[in-house]
Amino acid sequence: MTDFIKEPAFEIGRRVEIRGPYAWFVILKPTVDVEAALDAFISEFSAFLGGPVRVISCTGPWLGKLRKDLADPASDAVVISDLDQADANFWRALDINRSGLLRSGPVILWLSSLGLADLCEHAPNIRSFVGGSIVYLGIRGDVMTASERQQRISDLESHFQVTSAEVILRAESGTLPTEPHYVEWLVLLDRGDLV
Amino acid sequence: MAERWLEQQGQTLSVYIDISAETDLSGLNSGALLAGFGLHLTREFSGKGFEDSLDDQQKEALKTARSEIKGFAFGTTKSVWVPEDEGYQPDDDPEDYEPDYEPGRWVTRSVPGKLKPPFPALQRDIQAIRTPLDAFISAVQARSLDVVVIFDGLDRLISPDKFWAVVHQDFRALRRMRVAVLAAAPLSVLYGEGRSISEHFDRIHHMATLSSEPENNSYLKSVLSHRGGTDILGPDEAELICCASGGVLRDLITLARDAGEAAYIEGSDRILPEHANAVIKQLGESYRRGLGPERVKILRKLSKERFFDVTSSPNIELLVTGRVLEYSAGDFRVHPALGALILKPEKND
């Protein structure tokens, strides 16, 4: 069992549809083929909603641009795609201004596990607003079985020549690299709290 | 609610402002609160028809004051004559000019407003808004009404120093103008270094977390019932959700809503225990993410020994982020949805 649930795009679409206006979700993106995964998600998500889904970028004068992009228009579905680049100051600014970012259309925060950790650490109001609406994006509707998960952990141990116990120890001491594979590894070990 | 209550007392003009919805507070811009207050006050003044009984001269004075407040909030642009530096030589023949000609040029100067994101750097020019604000405040007070302003959203400025940097000049100016201020402040002003800030206020009211224990959570259940939650939520599942919310109303509503969604997606017409448990875990995971081993140790210690030092920064952060809840003075507990995950024996312990 992973830390957060895993769902394909159409299931996320169903949740957004049920939720109605002012829905905010975090989608944890896969660690590989990220661009392709985003394209596939947008395609499937917009097909489910029956309308275009806008991808918003946070580059440039971030907060001002983001506010403007979210407000105009405020009713369509948007995906904020590059929040992983956000530093602590940006998250804090976003957090303080949460009320100013509210809109009737659904908002998807497209994040890595590391990006989610930043959000949780520096933006408690946004975290509180998102609540438990955090899902891993399942490709092809799959959910990893216990044996697939064990196999993936074994592959990572073999590739990096490090045991899972050692990875946990290094994460606890703050010496584990923050590369996506290590993040995935911790999550597979059900130690997302160390990310 | 506070605004409504004050209005019902009949002797106040209360102005409610969710300042974070209107302006970017992250720029620590002194004057933003006064600008927001000024705009809301002028709107309330007109909305209540106070202008109708004024004479033309008073109306004109308030019109000017309103314009100045808008200029302070949104900025102004005006043309000014700038003389050229000494020694300037015009390109053309000097005899072409009038004898009293002074070299120079018209330039456009902009003074940035206080409510136009992104904000300019801190400018200590809040005196500029005092006179126009005083004009409106005096006109309200002439009706034997006290002006009260309620600032919501300032609790988002989580660290006490940031909160103080935004509010202290503006609140001092409001006090001088005889305006009462109610403000939502971050929890961090109650503890550690933040305590010195709370001393600047006449009164601090701490909104303690509601009890979520089964014998004492009837209010939480009434919230679910009032919102129609009990239509699809049985008593056992409602109890699960109330307890796991820790008494945090946002979490209570989130859990009930998410459990309803989970039931719907599975084609169930009622929320079952597995739906409630799944969303409780999701919420707990969102509190757990980014926690780190040191903070987990603090939480375990709190749970085991009931010890929690509110003067240390990591502990204040745990309080401010809702991972630790304070039910009454000294009664600190780990948020139950988070506790269910981290207080279990670890696989690698």
Q: For B225-277, what is each residue's pLDDT tens digit?
A: 988 877 889 999 999 999 999 999 999 999 999 999 999 888 888 999 999 99
C-alpha–C-alpha distance, residues B36 and B96, integer Å: 52
A97: CATH: 3.40.50.300
Name the token pair of B226.
């009032």
A173 plus A114 within the same structural domain? no
Q: Answer with the one of A141, A158, A181 that is the final residue of a domain.
A: A141
A127 plus A152 within the same structural domain? no
Q: Answer with the one of A97, A118, A141 that is the final residue of a domain.
A: A141
Q: For B83-118, what is each residue's pLDDT tens digit?
A: 766 555 556 666 666 666 666 666 666 666 665 443
Shortest Cα–Cα distance, B330 to chain A (Å):
23
Shortest Cα–Cα distance, A160 to chain B (Å):
20
A131 plus A187 within the same structural domain? no
A154 plus A136 within the same structural domain? no
A50 plus A128 within the same structural domain? yes
A48 plus A89 within the same structural domain? yes
DSSP 8-state symbol, B311? T
Q: For B16-63, what is each residue's pLDDT tens digit?
A: 998 877 777 766 567 888 988 999 999 999 988 888 888 899 999 999
A195 touching B (Cβ < 8 Å) = yes
Phi, psi of B186 (to 5 degrees): -70, 150
A100 plus A42 within the same structural domain? yes
Mutate to test the interface with B, among A120, A130, A172 (most CBs of B within 10 A): A120
A156 plus A93 within the same structural domain? no
Q: Supply the pLDDT for residue B343.
A: 85
For residue A50, pLDDT beyond 50: yes
- Alpha carbon dihedral A99, A100, A105, A108, in 10-degree steps, equals -80
A57 plus A25 within the same structural domain? yes
A104 SS3 class: coil
Q: For A65-117, what is each residue's pLDDT tens digit?
A: 888 889 889 999 999 998 998 888 888 888 888 887 889 999 999 999 889 99
C-alpha–C-alpha distance, residues B33 and A12, integer Å: 40
Domain count, chain A: 2
A19 plus A85 within the same structural domain? yes
CA–centroid distance for B190 within its chain: 17
Please choose, from the candidates A154, A79, A151, A88, the residue with its C-alpha nearest in 3D space to the C-alpha of residue A109: A79
The mean pLDDT of A47-66, rounded to a whole number, is: 80
C-alpha–C-alpha distance, residues B244 and A120, integer Å: 19
Q: Which of A4, A14, A128 sits opposite B322 (nearest CB)?
A: A128
User: Amino acid identity, residue A48?
Assistant: F
* Domain containing residue A26: 5-141
Q: For B136-145, what is each residue's pLDDT tens digit?
A: 999 999 988 9
A176 touching B (Cβ < 8 Å) = no
A161 plus A133 within the same structural domain? no
Q: For B147-200, what is each residue's pLDDT tens digit?
A: 999 999 898 888 888 899 889 889 989 998 999 999 999 988 998 888 889 888
The mean pLDDT of B59-70, rounded to a whole number, is: 90
C-alpha–C-alpha distance, residues A86 and A57, integer Å: 11
Count residue pairs from A and B with Cβ separation < 8 A: 122
Please provide the average confidence, as pLDDT, over all residues in chain A.
84
For residue B120, pLDDT beyond 60: no
Q: Do A5 and B278 touch (CB under 8 A)?
A: yes
Q: Do B290 and A64 touch (CB under 8 A)?
A: no
Q: How far apart are the first and last CA of chain A?
A: 17
Please choose, from the candidates B129, B182, B116, B143, the residue with its C-alpha nearest in 3D space to the C-alpha of residue B58: B143
**Which element (helix H / strand E) includes B37?**
helix B32-47
C-alpha–C-alpha distance, residues B244 and B256, integer Å: 11
Which range among A100-104, B71-75, B281-285, B334-338 shows the weakest confidence by mean pLDDT? B71-75
A19 plus A106 within the same structural domain? yes
For residue A143, pLDDT beyond 80: no
Query: pLDDT class for A155, splitting at 50, 70, 90?
Result: confident
Please choose, from the candidates B7, B166, B290, the residue with its C-alpha nearest in 3D space to the C-alpha of residue A195: B290
